[in-house]
């Protein structure tokens, strides 16, 4: 759930772990009555994340002086210092998507390809199957436009090379 919050917020929330925990608290009071607790938990966590992002929209701009320059960040608290995502191009491309499109992509890629159907994504997002399908189409089309040329080939090669690493003993 923490990864889901991080993906939805695009690094705009100070503490994704706290946000996910707040979602668990909303979920806990109703878990006995749920037909699909996994989907309800995701919906609770996503709703908390969206609420926090909405609250940030109206927040004052905080000026942080850093060396010779000052950064203007619309946030309620200071951002994570030193956060360096593993794949900067993909992180930036996902951050450029709207919250709704990013949520659909995260749910689609959260498991192995093909393990989650569009109907399941629609149920988790509480939208129709057609709306979920269209969100995925729009999101992937925007990602293809946003990502640099040759990105997918480079990523496949990098993942392939990472998978071929040998495990060595610590001694």
Provide CATH code, domain 85-148: 1.10.10.10
- List, for residues 79-113, the tens digit of each pLDDT value: 334 444 567 788 788 888 888 888 888 888 877 66
Calpha distance 14→82 (Å, rounded): 12
**pLDDT tens digits, one per residue of 67-85:** 444 344 444 333 334 444 5
The label of the residue with tokens 């709704």 reads 100
d(CA 109, CA 103): 10
Full-model pTM: 0.46
CATH 1.10.10.10 domain range(s) in the chain: 85-148
């Amino acid at each position: 759930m923490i990864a889901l919050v991080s993906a939805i917020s695009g690094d705009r929330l100070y503490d994704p772990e706290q946000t996910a925990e707040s979602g668990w608290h909303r979920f806990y009071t109703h878990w006995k009555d749920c037909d699909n607790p996994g989907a309800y938990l995701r919906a609770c966590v996503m709703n908390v994340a969206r609420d926090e992002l909405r609250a940030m929209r109206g927040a004052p701009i905080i000026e942080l002086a850093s060396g010779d320059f000052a950064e203007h960040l619309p946030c309620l608290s200071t951002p994570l210092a030193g956060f360096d995502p593993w794949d900067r191009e993909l992180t930036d491309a996902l951050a450029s998507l709207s919250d709704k499109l990013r949520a659909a992509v995260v749910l689609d890629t959260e498991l192995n390809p093909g393990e989650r159907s569009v109907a399941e994504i629609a149920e988790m997002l509480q939208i129709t199957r057609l709306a979920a399908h269209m969100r995925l189409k729009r999101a992937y089309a925007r990602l293809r436009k946003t990502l640099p040329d040759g990105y997918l080939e480079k990523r496949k090669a990098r993942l392939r090379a990472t998978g071929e690493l040998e495990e060595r003993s610590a001694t």
